[in-house]
Amino acid sequence: MISYSISAIVAVFMLLTTACRGDEQSNMEKDTSQSKNEYSLERRHMVERQIASRGIKDSLVLEAMNTVPRHRFVPPHLVGQAYDDNPLPIGHGQTISQPYIVAQMTDLLRLSGHERVLEIGTGSGYQAAVLSRIVDSVYTIEIVCPLAERADSTFKELGYDNLKVICGDGYQGYEKGAPYDRIIVTAAPDHVPQPLLDQLAMGGFMVIPVGDKLQFLKIYEKTEDGIKETTDIAVRFVPMTGEAEDQ
């Protein structure tokens, strides 16, 4: 006849329970790792197929696009489309730009990695997040306060601590942080806001979509001889609202 002590039975029970919990934990870690790897693969494909293949070669831009989790900046029901080659709605009549456009505008800023950047039109926060992985600091202004608050919350969750989010009308820029080495505008006015040019540092660049029904990306460089303007690709952005509509 085999007898067991109470302590031995308890010990065996605890051992089996620990093993089961270990298996469950291992499975959860495996699932989490698989999820991360899946999005990592989608980001890599996005960079290779949508961005690098279209001529973007700057390693700083490519690495930032490969690092920032774009799926964190779209509504939950659109997470499965986060890395598709198109813009997506984010509410309040706004969109998160197509990945290529984000990369193209970032590339046109000609970043070295040490700039102070002003963004007009935070939107989802994705463009600002990409910039923040490259430069020293980003100031970003959004006229729709709920979007500004959502973006700020996402930045904090991701640990992106070199961004300042301001809810307000971006037409006048943000004088407190000026001058800026770079300025990027992600909503289209029908003219270039003079306050933004005034807040651009000497030698700095501004990238902005300009136009009504027909828009083009414009690049403005501030030089000792004045402002130099060049034109890039045709684009389609939501119009800049607020003071820009009254000018």
Question: What token pair was written down for 232?
Answer: 């890039």
Q: Are strands 180-185 and 116-120 parallel, antiparallel or unpaired?
A: parallel
Please state, in angstroms and as integers, the Cα–Cα distance from residue 172 to each residue in 22, 199, 207, 243, following that order: 57, 9, 16, 8
Nearest to 214 by CA among 200, 233, 227: 233
DSSP per-residue letters across 5-59 = -HHHHHHHHHHHHHHHHHHHHHHHHHHHHHHHHHHHHHHHHIIIIIIGGGT---H
CA–CA dist 247, 241 (Å, integer): 11
Could you give the residue numbers annotated as active site? 97
CA–CA dist 124, 225 (Å, integer): 37
User: Length of the chain, please?
Assistant: 247
